[in-house]
Structure 1
């Protein structure tokens, strides 16, 4: 489980370990005995959180006007709009202009 420092408590860590879940939670700065944390795995949490923040820039998603399962189309459109610039830029790098002739 990836979580932020707000969930750094012995009770939460123990409950997760009992259920067989490995907690990846960085220790608080004021913790007397800091617990170990896999910071490489913790970076993934940051990437996921940034992705959700980009999706929330679309007002319909942020305010939850579409609450039904059939209205996921707008979420797909928003995700595609965010994904397309990186895809096009990557495709131009790998396909030189002379390769089409």
Structure 2
């Protein structure tokens, strides 16, 4: 389970452990006992969030103009192709 520094609290850590997941949350700078975290997994999370942010730049995707799931998935595919071609 991934989270930002704002989610570095004991209740959040306990809830994640209760779900049986591993928390990847960087410690808050003021925390007395910082927990260990995997910075490589956190960087991968950032890459995924950046990809979703790029998809949200397409107005039709961000506002969900399409009525059916089929046409929405086609719009997502087209947006991914446009993003890929920009590289």
Using structure 2 for the length normalisation, give the TM-score: 0.87
Aligned pairs for 1:6-85 within 5 A? 6-66=6-66, 68-71=68-71, 72-85=73-86
Larger gyration radius, structure 1 or structure 2: 1
Q: Which runs of 5+ in 1 are unaligned?
A: 87-101
* Count of matched residue pairs: 86
Q: CA deviation at 1:66?
A: 2.5
- The CA RMSD measured in Å over matched residues stands at 1.4
Q: Which runs of 5+ in 2 are unaligned?
A: none
CA change 1:68–1:17 in 2 (3 A) is same
Deviation string 1:27-68 (CA, Å, 9 cap, x unpaired) is 111212111111011001110111011111111112222253
In the aligned structure 2, how far is the partner of 1:13 from the partner of 1:70? 38
Alpha-carbon contact 1:7-1:25 (below 8 Å) kept: yes
Alpha-carbon contact 1:55-1:78 (below 8 Å) kept: yes
- Runs (4+) of structure 1 moved beyond 6 Å? none
Using structure 1 for the length normalisation, give the TM-score: 0.76
Q: CA deviation at 1:17?
A: 1.1
